[in-house]
Amino acid sequence: MIEQFTVESFKSIQSAKLDLGQVNLFIGANGSGKSNLLEALAVLSAAAGGKVDLPSLLWRGCRPSGYFQPMFRGSDQDASTRLRASDASAFYDVTLKPSPALRPQAWTYLEEHWPDQTHQRDCNSEPHTGLAALSLAMAGTAGPTAGFLKSLAEFCIYSAETRMLQGRSEDSQARQPVGLGGGNLIQAIQDLLSQNRDALETEFGECVDWFGELVIIDSRAPSWRHLELGFVDRHLRSEGKYQFLLNESEVNEGALYLAFLAVLGLHPDAPEVFAVENVDHGLNPLLAKRLMTTLTSRILSSERKRQVFLTTHNPLVLDGLPLGDDRVRLFTVDRDNKGRTVVRRFIITDKQREMAAQGWTLSRMWVNKLIGGVPDV
């Protein structure tokens, strides 16, 4: 798990140092730099994986951006980017030269550091290849440093799209157990139903009042096989073996997104460290609050130590956070008077505790500009 993350000279971020928990939620105005923070972590992940180029960044969920260096007035457009992640027993620190704007070439490694290893690079020593990844491949995956680098290299940013959840569009960023846009959802749910049906259906039952049962419909033909995900609505009439079924193309988007988050929270092949952009996904506010509580519980109770990074614009998501647990962290993201991203961890004050005792929720404090992370409009 990443306990501390440092970013220098990346997009809108001049400098940021974050002390992280297992569940980390970032709130802020549109364009404040929340996605840039996640993408900085994706760049570090790609570096730990051995190469930073457009395919490796897209595979981790980055946007196909044309620039990575700071672009503010007075900033050094030739500045290198430094990224560092660490836990109690391992770290990975890399300094990179980003590819020029709008040129899809690999980034250059300038320096790499990890425990007992320091490598300074020049243009004659494989400048586009990460030596930490090479060392890991040669040494195997034993030990805390290898485990840390492996989990870091597998980091990705999920951003579900309805047509991919429905299986109507191909997910170009396919992964196991589910693609970054939600592809392969039906197969992932089928896996969960065979492994942990009770937990999955309990999760649905607590969040969706009409939910009755999940069903996988297996349509076999001589030359092809087609799976459908069926949702039983307990209020609708019976039709054959089941009550009326809504398949993935007919059910509401909220139910599909709940299935998507359930896969990330419950599936044994889900990554140890990952991010979800816009975790509220345009859901009903109370459902978004409930989903935050459920996802947080799944991450914190997992047998393997897992970590998630989330962004949201829905105030009710905050009310689903158990901030009394230090493993859960809330960060506000703003822009300073020079346009640079500023990230602060929210620590509740005595005054805010008094307000909470009087009925003020975190969501109410946020929209009333009492904790930061809101535009000045």
pLDDT given for residue 47 in this prediction: 96
Can you give the CATH number for the domain in which 88 is found? Answer: 3.40.50.300
**Half-sphere exposure of residue 285, counting CA atoms within 13 Å on the CB side?**
8
Looking at the fold, whether 135 and 183 belong to one and the same domain comes out as no
Number of domains in the chain: 2
Residue 112 sits at φ, ψ, to 5 deg, of -135, 140
Looking at the fold, whether 99 and 230 belong to one and the same domain comes out as no
- How far, in Å, CA of 31 to CA of 64, rounded? 16
In 129-148, which positions are buried (b, 16+ CB within 10 angstroms) versus exposed (e)?
Answer: ebbbbebbeeeeeeeebbbb
Looking at the fold, whether 282 and 262 belong to one and the same domain comes out as no
pLDDT given for residue 79 in this prediction: 82
Of 270, 304, 329, the domain-final residue:
270
End-to-end CA, the chain: 37
Looking at the fold, whether 285 and 239 belong to one and the same domain comes out as no
Domain that holds residue 231: 165-270
Looking at the fold, whether 147 and 211 belong to one and the same domain comes out as no
pLDDT given for residue 133 in this prediction: 84
Looking at the fold, whether 28 and 128 belong to one and the same domain comes out as yes
Looking at the fold, whether 106 and 184 belong to one and the same domain comes out as no
pTM of the model: 0.92
Looking at the fold, whether 138 and 278 belong to one and the same domain comes out as yes
Q: What is the maximum span of the chain, computed from C-alpha positions, in angstroms?
A: 71
pLDDT given for residue 230 in this prediction: 79
Report CA dihedral (258, 5, 175, 283) to the nearest 10 degrees: 20
Of 240, 270, 300, the domain-final residue:
270
Looking at the fold, whether 305 and 337 belong to one and the same domain comes out as yes
Looking at the fold, whether 264 and 283 belong to one and the same domain comes out as no
Of 270, 294, 325, the domain-final residue:
270
Q: Residues 6 or more apart from 250 whose CB is under 8 A from it?
A: none
pLDDT given for residue 243 in this prediction: 47
Tokens of 210: 């009409």
pLDDT given for residue 125 in this prediction: 66
Looking at the fold, whether 33 and 170 belong to one and the same domain comes out as no
Looking at the fold, whether 370 and 226 belong to one and the same domain comes out as no
Print pLDDT tens along the chain (377 aa): 999 999 999 999 999 999 999 999 999 999 999 999 999 999 999 999 999 998 999 999 998 876 777 767 666 667 899 999 999 999 999 999 988 766 668 899 999 999 888 888 765 567 888 888 887 776 666 688 888 999 999 999 999 998 888 878 888 888 999 999 999 988 899 899 899 888 888 888 888 888 888 888 776 555 555 677 878 878 776 655 554 555 666 677 888 898 899 999 999 999 999 999 999 988 889 989 999 999 999 999 999 899 999 999 999 999 999 988 999 999 999 998 888 999 999 998 899 999 999 999 999 999 999 998 887 66
Tokens of 196: 């942990």
